[in-house]
Chains A and B, each alone.
Chain A
């Protein structure tokens, strides 16, 4: 599903150029659950943003579903993102002015789906995330765990093939964190590909494969053996 070759990304300020990703090669198959780990500033989130087509690389290739997407313009990237990709963030990133229902409905609106169909889909996913009883509430009225469930609902409501999760449990207590990880695992078992950035060893256990980044490069890659990697 994802094929990345010799990917480079740097950020320039007035005087300094920082290399965030250096020669990254990565392949993710459909149905995989991949965790990306590494210390702060190693380029995890940058990689996730490029995979999520929120950002473009400076060099290298990024094939998504067989299509080169690395050099696309914003509008073209949006077109591919729509319906295919779902995002889950550490800080939930719900729109404060919209209710739970409306937040989840948003991606469907941009897919120009009919109202009745939207309602049906949103209700179903809210049921599934066990948050249906709060559909009329605004994000600030919910606990962190509930907000993250709404964010996951929003990510999967379009039947996204790929979910990108950026430290999804980072702002949650352990109980809520485990709940969120269980949800992601469930989705993965149903066929959704998941790429997750995390600091948490516990969370990385849920993944099939763990990739370790250091100073913008993949240093190790392991199958289900997260604890053996010490960086």
Chain B
């Protein structure tokens, strides 16, 4: 009986090619989308799960309230880690990592001792020797306990060891950083490359042993620079730890600020230390600002939901088409029952058929996923693979295909097997029409989902445009940045002059600070000197720049003046602040006022607010002072021939720094990169919305074909009675249009709500206008009309005699 079922299932698959391809095609697209999204989600969820003691590893952070707003950070005072270990017995190990570029983390020019060619490398960080054990690094060479135990020792990854010391033992060799031959670093160990699914992405780990970045740095409780990690003993009660952290705050932290103002101490009182399990860092980092590139658990949910919806839409197609085409099966059902089939035989037969459909669709879907995976990886910026090697993969696929086949086939099976032979044989069964209401509901569901997705796609696109084109407060176009200029040292000024001499270059500035994330940042606290005691002051950036900075970046001066080269006092006591700081400090006439962060400055100018972080963040107070921090040079250029200019710049660079390859980039590209995560999520969202709409349209296409087929007789009679082509077309299209209009009216409020929630995440965002909904609605209608027109027009041209005679 089973083979008979399979045989007839196979033949009915082959018989109606259009319906079969739509059923299988829709299903396969759904499965492909699900598979890709599942791979993406699994990868996101796998972050930092690989540590042996992952459950017991925590990162410590600070939370508090400043000027009525929550703030949270993971930068902790230097002695904090050691204090935790000393004061809390549950702490097995504690350690720190310093990633601040200010202190030399990030990127460096490096070379092995004995070689002269510098290479730029990124991924430098300073860490405590204990961190190697806390994070359970695999040592390929060297000893985990001693690798970082001597000052100036360093641990590098396998990849970098192979790059600089091919076919040699790296341990024991030395590296030169930024041309500083007086202070070589000794390689104490080689670790395995860090997995990509970790928040911890470094290549060069320099020891913090006996390191002091400035006087008193290692004992200061008032400077916050270190990320602190803790390995708790197994079965530690975290509630007790919170209380103990509070004790540490009271005993060690607060007293360090005893000379600060009452206002400052009020902010202090709001601060508490919090813990974050290492496995939560990647996806659940709402509280602690850490400057890392995070995933977002909300996107995981969103994508998961979209995957589920696409699969659901595909299942709906299957159900709709199966029940719609039931007329073709009714005779078979009737006959089978006549010759002795029980209902259960028939249910089994139809289930086998739908499982067969499902398995074929899975095969096609997996092939589709395999073909599309490279593109998806590019969009999602991942290296996902179909995990054929994993033992769970094939059984899961097989089980899913069976399960989905049964789920999609359940309703059609029970529906089809109810046909009574007597009705079928008498021809009195108005087959397919009985389940018309269900089908309409399902079509409405499909189109509601599609319209919500269209609304989402449009709004994400609009927000992306807004980000790309928002007036940023500076001019990001035609700015070339050259990195690694700190190695030029005393030659920097001459280098700048030579660049300035190029006719296409309008201005040159040297500064480590640029309005692009990933460049140097800091945090200071300013108060008005002799000001109102009630003012809380302002936390803000202090950027060390040169005289050309404002001109090069096209920042506008709203009040006062720029730094003047001739004025010596400008280089020591002058400060230019942004409007956000003016507001925060509550200054009425800022020019000439004195503010202090410990050093007293006179405000000589106010610049318009400009974005120096992503648009998810508000523009914070910021100040500019003259100073020497010159990891980067930025050029304001005016040229149509960028290649020629870059050639000239490279020639000049090679003259100054023959042993270091020039590294340049463009400010606008860096800006775009800053918002890559949003763009990436947008692109993923768009592609899958498209798939969902495609699946829904496929369903509508087939369904309209069926409904028209059913109304052939009615159409013929109407035509005989004088209906025009237009009459028939309207008649057939209107029914579907009604469903689409219902879908739109359900989808609009849902789309509005969901997308408003999404936009809340941005400090600067578009307002959702009615146009978005109008466009979405029109788009849905147009797509639906195009889909059904193919069928309607065909029907309106039929020869009425043909179908009447068949009756």
Residues of A participating in the B interface, judged by any CB pair closer than 8 Å: 45, 49, 52, 54-55, 74-75, 78, 81-83, 87, 89, 93-95, 97-98, 102, 105-107, 109-112, 154
Contacts and interface: CB of A to CB of B under 8 A. Distances in A.
B15 A107 contact: no
B679 interface: no
Given A93-B425, A110-B345, A83 B340 contact: yes
B755 to A, nearest CB: 48
A152 to B, nearest CB: 13
27 contacts: A49-B425, A49-B426, A54-B338, A54-B420, A54-B422, A54-B425, A55-B422, A74-B337, A74-B343, A78-B341, A81-B340, A87-B338, A93-B334, A95-B8, A95-B331, A95-B336, A97-B8, A97-B12, A97-B15, A102-B4, A106-B339, A107-B339, A107-B340, A109-B1, A109-B4, A110-B1, A110-B340
A94 B426 CA distance: 15
A143 B8 CA distance: 23
Contacts of B420: 54, 74
A97 B343 CA distance: 20
A94 B331 CA distance: 9
Given A54-B420, A93-B335, 12 more contacts: A49-B425, A52-B338, A54-B422, A74-B337, A75-B342, A87-B339, A95-B8, A95-B331, A97-B332, A102-B4, A106-B335, A109-B1
A102 B336 CA distance: 12
B140 to A, nearest CB: 63
A91 to B, nearest CB: 9
A78 B342 contact: yes
A54 B335 CA distance: 11
Contact of B340 (A49, A74, A97, A111): A111
B706 to A, nearest CB: 18
| Residue from the set B334, B337, B338, B426 with the largest chain A CB neighbour count within 10 Å | B338
B805 interface: no
Contact of B421 (A54, A106, A154): A54
A158 B242 CA distance: 82
Given A54-B425, A110-B345, A154 B339 contact: yes
Contacts of B339: 82, 87, 106-107, 110, 154
Interface centre among B1, B331, B340 (most CB of A within 10 A): B340
A67 B426 CA distance: 26
A74 to B, nearest CB: 7
Interface of B: 1, 4, 7-8, 11-12, 15, 331-332, 334-343, 345, 420-422, 425-426
Nearest to A98: B8
A82 B337 CA distance: 9
A176 B343 CA distance: 35
Contact of A106 (B331, B336, B426): B336
A50 to B, nearest CB: 9
B426 A75 contact: no
Contacts of A105: 4
A77 B292 CA distance: 72
Given A54-B422, A110-B345, A81 B338 contact: yes
A154 B339 CA distance: 9
Contacts of A78: 337, 340-342
Contacts of A94: 335
A154 B338 CA distance: 11
B296 to A, nearest CB: 51
A107 B345 CA distance: 12
Nearest to A82: B340
A183 B19 CA distance: 41
B330 to A, nearest CB: 12
Given A97-B8, A97-B11, A75 B341 contact: no
Contacts of B8: 95, 97-98
A162 to B, nearest CB: 13
Contacts of A45: 426
A82 B8 CA distance: 21
A106 B334 CA distance: 13
A89 B422 CA distance: 12
Contact of A49 (B4, B341, B345, B422): B422
A46 to B, nearest CB: 9
Among B11, B12, B334, B420: residue with most chain A CB under 10 A? B11
Contacts of B343: 74-75
Nearest to A81: B340
Nearest to B341: A110
A112 B4 CA distance: 12
Contacts of B341: 78, 110
Contacts of B4: 102, 105-106, 109
A98 to B, nearest CB: 7
A93 B334 CA distance: 9
Nearest to A83: B340
* Residue in B11, B331, B339, B343 whose Cβ sees the most chain A Cβ within 10 Å: B339
A94 to B, nearest CB: 8
A43 to B, nearest CB: 13
A83 B337 CA distance: 12
A95 B343 CA distance: 17
A125 to B, nearest CB: 14
B798 to A, nearest CB: 22
Most buried by B among A81, A93, A105, A112: A93
Contacts of A154: 339
A64 to B, nearest CB: 15
